[in-house]
Amino acid sequence: ARVQVHDFEWIASGLKARGVFAQDVAAVMPHVVTEGTDDRNDAGDLVKPWAVDYSKFVADLIVGWQQHEARLKALEARHG
């Protein structure tokens, strides 16, 4: 719930995308983030961009879904 998804456009390519901002996620799930810098090369490209390893979200997503399903079943059982 503390990770915000954004619709954005990549500066380098202009392609539209949906994802999370590594700088935001680092405060919540630092283990999924590779820190970068704002340093640029002569061509203007980032030397070491921030990155998110989305595969590391999977276990947390599964656990969250399982918790959601358990809560939903408990509420359905109570309110039938």
Coil, helix or strand for 62? helix
The pLDDT score that the predictor gives to residue 23 is 95
The pLDDT score that the predictor gives to residue 1 is 80
The pair of three-digit structure tokens given for residue 31, joined into one six-digit string = 């283990």
pLDDT (tens digit, 0 to 9) for every residue of the chain, 80 residues total? 889 999 999 887 899 999 999 999 999 999 999 999 999 999 988 999 999 999 999 999 999 999 999 999 999 999 97
Coil, helix or strand for 3? coil
Q: How far apart are CA 66 and CA 28, in angstroms?
A: 20
